[in-house]
């Protein structure tokens, strides 16, 4: 069962818990358009070989453009033993619309 969080709740969680990490699984070209400051960037296709670099003991909010790719990455990482994963519902698009209007949309 995939856990999801709204952009507003993710922003609140980030402010209240400094151990929360954000994982951006979008492509490099998408990162050039916009980003969430401080997020770890691993494109979806690189997750299998780079998953071990992620902290297993911390909450990770996974996001992409709209939330589909990040849901797939969440499922993959959970199968690899990660337990504290939350998908950002609506992705960076929702973040831009409801949390940070400075983030460009595409």
Note whether residue 106 is domain-resident. no
Residue whose token pair is 């490099």 = 28
**Nearest Cα to 103, choosing from 69, 72, 63, 73?**
63
What range defines the domain where residue 21 resides? 4-98
pLDDT on residue 2:
72
- Mean pLDDT over 93-98 rounds to 97
Binning pLDDT at 50, 70 and 90, where does residue 26 land? very high
pLDDT, average across residues 17-34: 97
Residue 1: the pLDDT is 59
Report yes or no on 19 lying in a domain: yes
Whether residue 103 lies inside any domain: the answer is no
Determine whether 34 is an active site residue: no
Task: Look over the chain and give the mean of its residue pLDDT values, rounded to a whole number.
Answer: 96
Tokens of 38: 């401080």
Quick check: is 105 in a domain?
no
Rounded percentage of the chain residues whose pLDDT exceeds 70:
99
Task: Tell me the CATH number at 76.
Answer: 3.40.250.10
Domain total in the chain: 1
Out of 64, 73, 88, 96, which one is annotated catalytic?
A: 64
15 assigned to some structural domain: yes
CB count in 10 Å sphere of residue 97: 13
In a domain? residue 104: no
- How many helices and strands in the chain, by DSSP H and E? 5, 5
Asked if residue 16 is part of any domain, the answer here is yes
Report the distance separating Cα 50 and Cα 96, nearest Å: 27
Write the pLDDT tens digit of every residue in 38-88.
999 999 999 999 999 999 999 999 999 999 999 999 999 999 999 999 999
79, part of any domain = yes
User: pTM here?
Assistant: 0.96
Going by their DSSP bridges, the two strands 85-88 and 60-63 should be labelled as: parallel
């Amino acid at each position: 069962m995939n856990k999801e969080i709204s952009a507003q709740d993710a922003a609140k969680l980030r402010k209240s818990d400094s151990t929360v990490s954000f994982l951006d699984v979008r492509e490099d070209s998408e990162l050039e358009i916009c980003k969430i400051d401080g997020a770890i960037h691993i494109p979806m296709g690189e997750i299998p070989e780079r998953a071990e670099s992620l902290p297993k003991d911390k909450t990770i909010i996974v996001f992409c453009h709209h939330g589909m790719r990040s849901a797939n990455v969440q499922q993959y990482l959970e199968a690899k033993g990660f337990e504290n994963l939350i998908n950002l519902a609506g992705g960076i698009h929702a973040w831009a619309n409801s949390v940070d209007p400075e983030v460009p949309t595409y």
